[in-house]
Amino acid sequence: MNPLRIFGAIAALSLSAGAFAQGWPDRPISLVVGFPPGGGVDIVARQLADRLSEQLGQRVAVDNRAGANGNVAMEYVARARPDGYTMLMGNVGNLAINPALYSKLGFDTLKDFAPISRVIVQPLVAVVPSASPITNLAQLLAALRARPGEFNFGSGGNGNINHLSGELLKLQAGVQFTHVPYKGSAPAVADLVAGRMHLMIDGANVMTSFVRDGRLRAIYTTGEARSPAYPDVPTAREAGLPDMVVYGWQGVLAPAGTPAAVIERMSQEIARALAQPELRNRLAAQGTEPAPLPPAQFQAFLAAEHRRYGEVVRSAKVSLD
């Protein structure tokens, strides 16, 4: 083909993409969530969608497509038209852990999606029954080393971030305990409160009421800094495990090929929404922290989380196939 024609075609495409981005959005945007209404991702997605609707002048509607730990929604968005009107709100589980848990997926998270922005992070908290003699991480590790394999560790299910935070503790501290998966966090917490379980690591929003009323004791948190919900509880990093930084996090992505100008605009709008005091306060009350990252940084973060949890899943020999 004539080089001038090639140059002309590229220029025309660039102009049309720019014009498209300038007119975007001119109709409602679908924010797909891979979990049922009322769950953690859904709650944050709806709060964010309300704010974005006001800012963009077009409705941002949450579309719940639950199934297969979020994989149903992932595949739907991966195959959607990359026109800026279908986006995904996911979490660390379906965005970073599932690729290691499932050998056959109908998409590639790192290739089939364009990261837009991380939205929130939520540090986890390690808790023991109030009757336990353990009051800090050092005592926990000493007990685990003195009685290898005798401790039970509960979580809301195989392969979720709460389970893998325990597997990460095993790797980093060189200790052993038995994982007991439950069908959700609630029954696991009930057994922990009753003393039938030794340890759990879960979100602050799940554990705070039990810690406040004295039924459970918090011994460490997993953030980079102390959690505002637990100002008197040291982080695992403070307590001697510098790499034990674990967050439940959520973020927004679009199908690969979505115009870069749309990606950048939406990323800026998400950061703007998360800077609003009303939304920040509502998120803080739920134990989460606004933590936007622009597209390039979010892409690097996502790739690092893939590598990290891939190693943990392989080490723990966890599979959901």
25 preceded by cis ω (within 30°)?
yes
Under 8 Å CB-to-CB from 149, ≥6 apart: which residues?
Answer: 176, 177, 178
Give yes or no on whether 3-120+248-316 and 123-221 have one common fold: yes
Query: For residue 51, which phi and psi values (nearest 5 degrees)?
Result: -70, -40
Q: What is the pLDDT of residue 3?
A: 43
Query: Mean pLDDT across the stretch 70-85?
Result: 97
Question: Is pLDDT above 90 for 52?
Answer: yes
Q: 243, 245, 242, 193: which is closest to 222 by C-alpha?
A: 245
Task: Find out whether 41 and 250 touch, Cβ atoms under 8 Å.
Answer: yes
Q: What is the pLDDT of residue 121?
A: 95
Query: For residue 90, which phi and psi values (nearest 5 degrees)?
Result: -130, 180
Q: What is the pLDDT of residue 7?
A: 45
Q: What is the pLDDT of residue 21?
A: 60
Supply the pTM of this predicted model.
0.86
For 219, the enclosing helix (H) or strand (E) is strand 216-221
Query: Mean pLDDT across the stretch 146-153?
Result: 92
Amino acid at 57: G
The residue that leads in pLDDT, 204 or 80, is 80
Q: What is the pLDDT of residue 184?
A: 86
At the fourth CATH level, which superfamily is domain 123-221?
A: Periplasmic binding protein-like II (3.40.190.10)
Question: Is pLDDT above 50 for 11?
Answer: no
Task: Find out whether 184 and 156 touch, Cβ atoms under 8 Å.
Answer: yes
Question: Is pLDDT above 90 for 205?
Answer: no
- Domain range annotation of the chain: 3-120+248-316, 123-221
Judging by beta carbons within 10 Å of its beta carbon (0-12, 13-18, 19+), is residue 206 exposed, middle or buried?
A: buried
CA 249 – CA 113 distance, rounded (Å): 17
Q: Which CATH architecture has domain 3-120+248-316?
A: 3-Layer(aba) Sandwich (3.40)
Per-residue pLDDT of 171-187, as tens digits, reads: 999 999 999 999 888 89
Query: Mean pLDDT across the stretch 294-308?
Result: 97
β-bridge mates for residue 152, sequence order: 178
Under 8 Å CB-to-CB from 236, ≥6 apart: which residues?
Answer: 126, 137, 169, 220, 221, 222, 244, 245
Q: What is the pLDDT of residue 39?
A: 85
Q: What is the pLDDT of residue 20?
A: 52
Per-residue pLDDT of 89-148, as tens digits, reads: 999 999 999 999 998 899 999 999 999 999 999 999 999 999 999 999 999 999 999 998
Q: What is the pLDDT of residue 19?
A: 52
Least confident of 47-51, 140-144, 202-206, 295-299: 202-206
Task: Find out whether 87 and 266 touch, Cβ atoms under 8 Å.
Answer: yes
Q: What is the pLDDT of residue 88?
A: 98
Question: Is pLDDT above 50 for 10?
Answer: no
Listed ranges 23-27, 225-229, 287-291; the one with the highest mean pLDDT? 23-27
Query: Mean pLDDT across the stretch 246-264?
Result: 97
CA 72 – CA 65 distance, rounded (Å): 7
Q: 180, 162, 94: which is closest to 123 by C-alpha?
A: 162
Q: What is the pLDDT of residue 320?
A: 82
Q: What is the pLDDT of residue 6?
A: 40
Q: How confident is the model at residue 228 (pLDDT cuts 50, 70, 90)?
A: confident
